[in-house]
Structure 1
Amino acid sequence: MASVAQFLRSKASQTVWSTQASASVYDAIAIMAHRQVGALIVAHEGRIAGIVTERDYARKVVLMDRSSRNTPVRDIMSTAVRYVSPEQTTEECMALMTGHRIRYLPVITVGEVIAMVSIGDLIKNQMSEQENTIRRLEHYIHGDSLQATHGRFQAGRRQI
């Protein structure tokens, strides 16, 4: 499995969107909708205070019949922020996410959030890795490799 740093190089965007703990939930959801993301880092006095997700909104605002315009993000955000470092593997990310039933992981290095990884990103990456493996195996089985093996080309080409 690839490291988070390797995975991030292939990710289209590494922009991390955030909001303030004092912002309204409505404003946070508007940012998520505009930026087409499902989670925001929540900051307070220049530090990470938590993470707010669409799931937090659904469960802690909609189902509790709160007003998103009058509820501050700090009232619904998750404060136990799980995170990973660039050196960790994508496999470790998947294990952490499934083990804690979370969908988003900030990537933090030297106290700074440098990216956000979603379960969707990781699944897409895993599917791509599996497709590449299948393609390589098919080429191997069909002898499409152009590498010489034991003095012969593969795929029944003539001996040298």
Structure 2
Amino acid sequence: MNVGQILSHKGDDIIAMERGCTVMEVAKLLGERRIGAIPIVDGGTICGIMSERDVVRGIAIRGGGVLADDVSTLMTKSVFTCGKDDTVYELMKMMTERRIRHVPVVDGDKLIGMISIGDVVKHRMQQAAAENEALKDYIAQG
């Protein structure tokens, strides 16, 4: 299975924030949507990513005033992305090696979705259940 297939099950709702917004605006959207990270875009092209952890670290280091700062002060600017044709194995390997939990999916420079570690785990569990059922059917047929 590939990333595009996971995206097709997730739906095509893309949540992103434009460059120039505040840390507070991002934090508010993270809470409202109950998500862990948001890509930051400039005209549809990813220029960073902001996670809950980035917000917490910023507050811990600089205090609550950081919430009024431009998102660029805290966002991670070096963003690891994947494409819709990448395999789930390649995605899991990248997430594990880079210790990241959210990966924007791009087509060229355009953001087309976001995959979280939770999406990958859900996919793997569904795949394992399907394989289990197939084995049960095979054994039952004798």
Q: TM-score, normalised by structure 2?
A: 0.90
Larger Rg: 1
2:70 to 64, 72, 75: 72
Residue ranges of structure 1 left out of the alignment (5+ in a row): 144-154, 156-160
1:128 deviates by 0.7
Equivalent residue pairs, number = 142
In the alignment, the residues of structure 2 paired with residue 110 and residue 58 of structure 1 have an alpha-carbon distance, to the nearest angstrom, of: 31
Deviation per CA, 1:71-93: give whole Å up to 9, x if none.
Answer: 22111100110001111101111
1:44 deviates by 3.4
Q: Which runs of 4+ in 1 moved over 6 A?
A: none
Deviation per CA, 1:6-31: give whole Å up to 9, x if none.
Answer: 222222x3322112332111111111
Residue ranges of structure 2 left out of the alignment (5+ in a row): none
> What corresponds to 1:112 in structure 2?
110
TM-align CA RMSD:
1.7
In the alignment, the residues of structure 1 paired with residue 84 and residue 44 of structure 2 have an alpha-carbon distance, to the nearest angstrom, of: 22
The secondary structure found in structure 1 opposite 2:47 is: strand
Structure having the higher helix fraction is 2
In the alignment, the residues of structure 2 paired with residue 47 and residue 136 of structure 1 have an alpha-carbon distance, to the nearest angstrom, of: 42
> What corresponds to 2:48 in structure 1?
50
In the alignment, the residues of structure 1 paired with residue 136 and residue 68 of structure 2 have an alpha-carbon distance, to the nearest angstrom, of: 58
> What corresponds to 1:149 in structure 2?
none
1:35 deviates by 2.0
Contact 1:20–1:73, Cα closer than 8 Å, also in 2 = no
1:105 deviates by 0.6
In the alignment, the residues of structure 1 paired with residue 89 and residue 82 of structure 2 have an alpha-carbon distance, to the nearest angstrom, of: 11
- The residue type equivalent to 1:82 in the other structure is F
Q: TM-score, normalised by structure 1?
A: 0.81
1:121 to 104, 119, 124: 119
Contact 2:45–2:109, Cα closer than 8 Å, also in 1 = no
| Distance 1:46-1:5 versus aligned 2 partners, 3 A rule | closer
1:111 deviates by 1.5
> What corresponds to 1:6 in structure 2?
5
